[in-house]
């Protein structure tokens, strides 16, 4: 068993199929199939259940994946440790909540690409809980999430504060009436949920009527069409407000602050590439203050 075998095994486990893993690794599909079969023969145990729907891990495969993640992460750490003092290079896999990706992180990554062309970037969006799990499992090197975060496996750096606002379709509205409309959120249980419930309870509304919407774009369209209201960071709705698509209302002081921070694994070596990105984010926030 070598690192190459583990990398292929990890890719098949993550992707759930030989073809998708081959595409992700830029390998020939037959080579991936052969390497997985050789690994199973070497260990004398099946690592995957195979079906028409794809491949899923057996109990033995689940055990091996845990070790594979740790071994490949340590090898990555060793490689990055040799690059200290050198210009940032290599790969950084990032995650971000959608509101932070669109309004804050994208322009930073554009400048980062110009300053550090030797660094390859990848970015996915998701909810805070999902992104935290991907960082813990070393699928991401770091992520911008709603904070603060207190987790034994995560390091957290506060990056900036947002103002949480209530948005509704265009027109004059009474706050009390709006709060009885459906709330459009990215997901039931998203980070705004607790804050929304506390705010509504304070306003005398004890039942939260939540409708799930998948993206910021669909939430904005739903609100402007009168399907409900939403609680979102002001930076993510300011353009729609200026275009006259939605009405934006400020919340009382105890509920308007929303913290955004950066998480990375406590066991993660803060590589030159990742440290340069963190410094760039902190610099942008200090310039905006």
Indicate if 17 and 67 belong to the same structural domain: yes
Among 18, 53, 81, the domain boundary falls at: 81
Q: What does each C-alpha distance from 145 to 76, 191, 282 come to in angstroms?
A: 24, 9, 15
For residue 130, the enclosing domain spans 90-155+262-288
- Of 264, 220, 231, 259, nearest to 95 by C-alpha is 264
Indicate if 177 and 94 belong to the same structural domain: no
d(CA 56, CA 43): 17
pTM, to two decimals: 0.66
Indicate if 19 and 55 belong to the same structural domain: yes
Instruction: Please name the residue ranges forming H helices in 160-233.
Output: 175-178, 192-202, 216-224
Q: What is the CATH number of the domain that holds 271?
A: 3.40.190.10
- Give the pLDDT score at 150: 87
Indicate if 151 and 166 belong to the same structural domain: no
- Of 140, 139, 132, nearest to 156 by C-alpha is 132
Is 90 exceeded by the pLDDT of residue 181? no
Q: Produce one character per residue of 235-251: b if its CB has 16 or more CB atoms within 10 Å, e if not.
A: bbbeebeeeebbbbeeb
Share of the chain above pLDDT 90, in %: 26
Among 16, 47, 81, the domain boundary falls at: 81
pLDDT tens across 11-66, in order?
999 899 999 999 988 899 999 999 999 999 999 999 999 988 889 999 999 999 98
The beta strands (E) that lie in the chain are given as 48-51, 54-57, 90-96, 119-125, 142-147, 154-169, 183-185, 210-212, 230-233, 246-250, 257-265
Indicate if 101 and 113 belong to the same structural domain: yes
3-state secondary structure of 117: coil
């Amino acid at each position: 068993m070598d690192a190459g075998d583990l990398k292929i095994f990890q890719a098949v486990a993550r992707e759930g199929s030989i073809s998708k893993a081959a595409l992700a690794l830029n390998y020939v599909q037959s080579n991936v199939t052969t390497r997985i079969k050789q690994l199973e023969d070497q260990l004398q145990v099946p690592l995957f259940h195979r079906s028409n729907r794809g491949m899923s891990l057996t109990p033995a495969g689940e055990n091996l994946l845990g070790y594979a993640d740790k071994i490949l992460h340590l090898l990555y750490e060793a490689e990055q440790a040799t690059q200290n003092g050198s210009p940032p290079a290599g790969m950084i896999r990032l995650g971000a909540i959608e509101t932070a990706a669109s309004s804050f992180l994208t322009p930073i990554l554009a400048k980062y690409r110009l300053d550090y062309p030797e660094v390859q970037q990848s970015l996915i969006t998701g909810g805070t809980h999902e992104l935290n799990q991907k960082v813990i499992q070393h699928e991401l090197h770091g992520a911008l999430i709603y904070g603060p975060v207190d987790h034994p496996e995560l390091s957290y750096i506060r990056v900036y504060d947002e103002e949480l606002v209530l948005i509704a379709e265009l027109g004059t509205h009474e706050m009390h009436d709006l709060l009885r409309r459906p709330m459009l959120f990215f997901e039931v249980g998203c980070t705004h949920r607790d804050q929304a419930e506390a705010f509504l309870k304070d306003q005398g509304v004890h039942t939260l009527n939540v409708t799930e919407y998948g993206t910021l774009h669909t939430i904005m369209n739903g609100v402007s069409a009168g399907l409900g209201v939403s609680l979102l960071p002001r930076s993510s709705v300011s353009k729609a407000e200026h275009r006259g698509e939605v009405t934006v209302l400020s919340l009382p002081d105890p509920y308007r602050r929303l913290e955004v921070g950066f998480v990375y694994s406590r066991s993660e070596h803060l590589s030159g590439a990742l440290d340069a990105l963190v410094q760039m984010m902190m610099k942008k926030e200090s310039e905006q203050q």
